[in-house]
Amino acid sequence: MIKKLEHENEEIAGKIRQLFQLAYQVEADLLGIETFPPLQRTISNIKNSPTHFYGYFIENKIMGIIEIEYSKEETEIHSLVVHPDFFRRGIGKKMLGFILKKDSKVYSVQTALKNIPAIKLYESEGFDLQKKWKTTEDLYLIKLIKKS
């Protein structure tokens, strides 16, 4: 079941951060980097974020989170994480499908060029490469978009 998370709540923000820490550490290891900005997010940052968070629940526990910024013009996916114990079970695909039902003209996401599992997921849902660039941390990022 997917439902909106009240991330302004301290306890919920803490649960979001906890899952972010688990999932983004796996991504940082995959990318071979030690300093990874998503791992630096605080509970306060999450609580005060203007974005929307949705959780994928299994037995009343959050096992996946998607964070978006939504408008009729564009829905930007800021985060899509799944608990490492639940990788490769279709949770990310279900959450992405849920967001793609929003009424936006364009959907966009940024990810690391080396994050092949994420890229394959987005491409399987019709996202195409828009641009690629190198950050100051020696990390290559890409932006993928899907037009409705």
Q: What is the mean pLDDT of the chain?
A: 96
Over residues 73-110, the pLDDT tens digits come to 999 999 999 999 999 999 999 999 999 999 999 999 99
C-alpha to C-alpha distance for 23 and 2, rounded to whole angstroms? 18
CATH code of the domain covering residue 25 = 3.40.630.30
What is the spatial distance between Cα 63 and Cα 66, in angstroms, rounded to a whole number?
11
Give the range of the structural domain holding residue 107, as residue numbers without chain letter: 2-147
Structural domain count of the chain: 1
Cα separation, 143 vs 110, whole angstroms: 4
Q: pTM for this structure?
A: 0.95
